[in-house]
Chain A
Amino acid sequence: MTRRARIPNLGGAKAVVLHRPHPGTEALGRHLAAIGLDVVEAWPELPAAAISADFLFFDVDLGFDAQFPWAPGMAPMPLIALIGSEAPGRIEWALSQKADAQIVKPVGNAGVYSALLIARRAFDERRRLAAEIADLQGRVAERQTIVRAVIALSSGSTDETQAYAQLRALAMSWQVTLEEAARRVVELNNKEASHERPRRA
């Protein structure tokens, strides 16, 4: 049976609301509690425990970089922007924090639950993509290693097409990526070369 992604159960999840006490956000805490989250409100300092929160709501109107103990855009949890003034500079700042969802103030009866679900999904997707990009970048950086491995495997009777095929076969039998196999081949080759050197000397 194929399993689809389930709507996450938010019971017991921890939400930090970084906003000064204000009538415009009163409904937010109440609504989060109704959905089953534990809510901590803070302003202007983010408590140390916030690092383990599952969601962070932050004020776009009065927020600033130094409130967060991480570089802009590097939050370890989904961020939800609380937008009052739609001044372009403030929106720009919220974008620099990489907010995953937003709620417009005053916070009413609608929008909190969907913001939680959308932020969770967007954050997870962003993280997955970042990991995939890092992996691909690493592999692109190994292009030179592959070239060196193919050269190492080539000899008088083996041309580069055969050497490349041999490298692929090695990667398969070692059950590693082509780049990893190339690294091993280059390392082995270097070792052999360094063993040979003293004899020649």
Chain B
Amino acid sequence: MKRQVAIGVLYSRSGSYQLLGEASRCGALGGIAAVNADAARSITFVPVEHDPAGRIEAYAPLCTDMLTQTSARHVIGCITSWSRKEIIPVLEKHGGLLWYAAPYEGFEANDHVIYMNAAPNQHLVPLVAHVTARYGRNAFLLGSNYIWGWEMNRIARDLVADAGGEVRGERYLPLGDTDVSRLIEEIRATLPDFVLNNLIGPSSYALYEAYAALGREDERFAAELRPIVSCNLTEQELPSIAPHGEGHLSCLPFMWNGAAGPRSSFEAAAHAAVVMLADAIEAAGTDERDAVRQVMAGLASDTVLGRIRIDPRTQHAGLPAKIGRIRGARFDILQESDGAIAPDPYLSRYDPTTSMRPPLRLVR
């Protein structure tokens, strides 16, 4: 008889980032189905699902409910950093562990969180190195007006400076705002070599559409010459920007190759989180939080993201980085890291001389 283990699933299925919530939820449920279908396993998962519906104040009470009204100790959930920070006190109070499967801006290493998606040394650093070496060093930075955009652009300012480039502009839109006409005018006026897009949801979709229109009007803004680049635009959102995304770039730990299974990095990371959790519970013989954290130090799991280890010091996953160009509903992979990149959430091992070498210029 297999042991049943309750597992929390906390994703928003409506609101400004609903597509990402849906993808992640789909990955978590897919992971649960895979674990439950595996005859070799000694446990099965029973999902306990709550939908905060994109309302920030709903996260903490729903998480409290999972950890106190059910036997769940582990929660797969949260897309935004804001929601993650909202439930951390609840996890601390009730001995829960959050498996956070969205890319984020780094500079956190909480004992109550396992970080399963990319941090800046696994997305932004390789992406900026790639584009500054190929398209030019001058950037225009965009973001939605909250922590992801602010922090990503803060790091990007340093990276661009290290590459020898300059930031031609930095602009923020309120979440959900789709009026990008002024941004487009500024981009046209300042002629950056690439546009770093940290906009979320509808704002981001409006950007791709308006930029494509700009490209038709002014050939200097073709995607092949001056791409929009992103660390969180996945296959999940490509239909929302089609056909305007064509030729633009993303840097992600997973890109869909057309096979069965997860179709985006959000989905894949949530799926991998569930599989890793199952491995850890089996190795520990319990789903108690500290026991699970301890066995994870020596664990390597085969997941849809590849063979994954969690760095015990930071509780972040080592992950590959893939840089892809949008073509239709998928990405053409242009460059990928040589295996997993060890996590470095505080960029404490970042060295501009090796990561951001400015291209050599001919001096006459």
Interface residue ranges, A against B (CB under 8 Å): 1, 3-4, 6-7, 9-12, 27, 30-31, 33-37, 108-110, 113
Residues 75-132 of B contacting A (Cβ, < 8 Å): 88, 92, 107, 109-112
Q: State A113–B106 Cα separation when bound (angstroms).
A: 12
Cβ of B349 under 8 Å from chain A: yes
Give min CB distance, A37 to chain B, whole Å: 8
> What is the minimal beta-carbon distance from A27 to any residue of chain B, in angstroms?
7
Given A109-B92, A109-B111, also A10-B313 (CB < 8 A) = no
Neighbour of A11 across the interface among B157, B313, B349, CB < 8 A? B349
Interface residues of B in 245-269 (CB under 8 A from A): none
Which 3 A-B residue pairings sit nearest by Cβ, starting from the closest? A36-B348, A11-B348, A34-B109
- Is B346 an interface residue, CB under 8 A from the partner? yes
B213 at the interface (CB under 8 A from A): no
Decide yes or no whether B179 CB sits under 8 A from chain A.
no
Please determine whether B166 and A1 come into contact, CB atoms closer than 8 angstroms. yes
- How many Å from the CB of B69 to the closest CB on chain A? 24
**Cβ contact within 8 Å between A9 and B92:** no
Q: List 21 A-B contacts (CB under 8 A).
A: A1-B161, A1-B166, A6-B158, A7-B154, A9-B347, A9-B348, A10-B346, A11-B349, A33-B313, A34-B314, A34-B315, A34-B345, A34-B346, A35-B346, A36-B348, A37-B348, A108-B92, A109-B92, A109-B111, A109-B112, A110-B110
Complex contacts, B348 vs chain A, CB 8 Å? 9-12, 35-37
Of A6, A35, A37, A108, the residue contacting B109 (CB under 8 A) is A35
User: With the chains together, A1 CA to B138 CA distance in Å?
Assistant: 12
In the assembled complex, the CB of A14 is this many whole angstroms from the nearest CB of chain B, namely 13
Inter-chain pairs besides A7-B154, A9-B347, A113-B107, 4 sampled, C-beta below 8 Å:
A11-B346, A31-B109, A34-B315, A35-B346
Judging by beta carbons under 8 Å apart, are B110 and A109 in contact? Answer: yes
A7–B111 Cα gap in the complex (Å)? 23
Chain A minimum-CB-distance residue to B350: A9
The majority secondary structure among interface residues of chain B is loop
- Distance between Cα atoms of A110 and B89 in the complex (Å): 10
Q: Which residues of A contact B346 (CB under 8 A)?
A: 10-11, 34-36, 113
Structural contact, A36 and B349, CB atoms closer than 8 A: yes
**Which of A3, A9, A10, A37 interacts with B161 by CB under 8 Å?**
A3
Number of A-B residue pairs having CB atoms within 8 Å of each other in the complex:
45
How far apart are the CA atoms of A35 and B154 in the complex, in Å? Answer: 18
Please report the C-alpha to C-alpha distance between residue A113 and residue B110 in the assembled complex, in whole angstroms: 11
A-side binding surface: helix, strand, loop or mixed? loop
B170 to chain A, nearest CB (A): 12
Give, as a whole number of angstroms, the nearest-CB distance from A117 to chain B.
10
Q: How far in angstroms is the closest Cβ of chain A from B356?
A: 13
Contact of A30 among B92, B158, B313, B347 (CB under 8 A): B313
Residue of B nearest to A37 (CB): B348
The docked-state distance in angstroms from the alpha carbon of A33 to that of B344 is 11
Chain B residues near A27 (CB, 8 Å)? 111
- Report the bound CA distance from A43 to B348 in whole Å: 27
Q: Which of B148-206 contact A (CB under 8 A)?
A: 154, 157-158, 161, 166
Considering the chains assembled together, what is the distance between the CA atoms of A12 and B107 in angstroms? 16
- In the assembled complex, the Cα of A30 lies from the Cα of B107 at a distance in Å of 15
Chain B 339-356 interface mask (CB, 8 Å, partner A; 1/0): 000001111111000000
CB distance from B164 to the nearest CB of A (A): 11
| B191 nearest CB across to chain A (Å) | 16
The residue of chain B having its C-beta at the shortest distance from the C-beta of A10 within the complex is: B348
CA distance A31 to B158 in the complex (A): 24
Residues of chain A lying within 8 A (CB to CB) of residue B345? 34
A109–B349 CA distance with the chains assembled, in angstroms: 22
A1 to B92, CA, bound (A): 44
Given contacts A1-B166, A109-B110, contact A11 B161 (CB under 8 A): no
Q: Is the CB of B313 within 8 A of A34?
A: yes
Partner of B350, one of A3, A11, A113: A11
Q: Least Cβ distance of B110 to chain A in Å?
A: 5
CB-CB under 8 A from A9, the residues of chain B are 347-348, 350
Assembled-state Cα–Cα distance A33/B110 (Å): 12
Least distance between B124 CB and chain A CB atoms (Å): 15
B211 to chain A, nearest CB (A): 25
Could you tell me the distance in whole angstroms from the C-beta of A13 to the nearest C-beta in chain B?
Answer: 8
**Residue among A31, A34, A113 having the largest count of chain B Cβ atoms under 10 Å:** A34
A residues in contact with B158, CB < 8 Å? 6
How far apart are B231's CB and chain A's nearest CB, in angstroms?
19
Shortest beta-carbon distance, B289 to chain A, in Å?
13
Q: Complex: how many Å from CA A35 to CA B92?
A: 20
Contacts of A33 in B (CB 8 A): 313
Q: How far is B158's CA from A114's CA once the two chains are assembled, in angstroms?
A: 19
Contacts of B88 in A (CB 8 A): 109
Provide the bound-state CA to CA distance between A138 and B100, in Å.
58
Chain A residues whose CB sits within 8 angstroms of the CB of B92 once the complex forms: 108-109
